Amino acid sequence: MFLFLIVFYWTPPHFWALSLVLADDYRRAGVPMLPVVRGEEETKRQIGLYALMLVALALAFTVIAGMSLIYFSTAVIGGAIFLWLTWRLYRAPGTQGALTLFHYSISYLTLLFGAIAVDQLALG
């Protein structure tokens, strides 16, 4: 269930960051993505809220699933970078940093799930 929740809360920041970059294309095509419907500032705010929930869930997974220091370290460092990039996106004018957050979010999820696998292999 927690892995589902991690992916669930990862998805909005990932896709909305990309949709900030492509907002004009979505607008021209008539696709009702969040930046088109609610604007850039609201999209950035929603990305921040979902990012906070994502990192909190990833850290809670340490306790709930009994993960080791391998996973916990990855969740803390990866989550801190995710939140820092989100904060940078929120504070920057325009869509500066949106593509960086989009690309990092892919690495974050890969590292997090990789840490789960390594953790399980290490613990047996």
What 14-18 contacts at long range (C-beta under 8 Å, 24+ apart), as own/partner pairs, is: 14/102, 14/105, 14/106, 14/109, 16/43, 16/46, 16/47, 17/47, 17/89, 17/98, 17/99, 17/101, 17/102, 17/105, 18/98, 18/99, 18/102
What are the tens digits of pLDDT across the range 28-57?
A: 999 999 999 999 999 999 999 999 999 999
Q: Give the CATH number of domain 2-123.
A: 1.20.120
The residues spanned by each domain of the chain are 2-123
| pTM attached to this predicted model | 0.94
What are the tens digits of pLDDT across the range 4-36?
A: 999 999 999 999 999 999 999 999 999 999 999
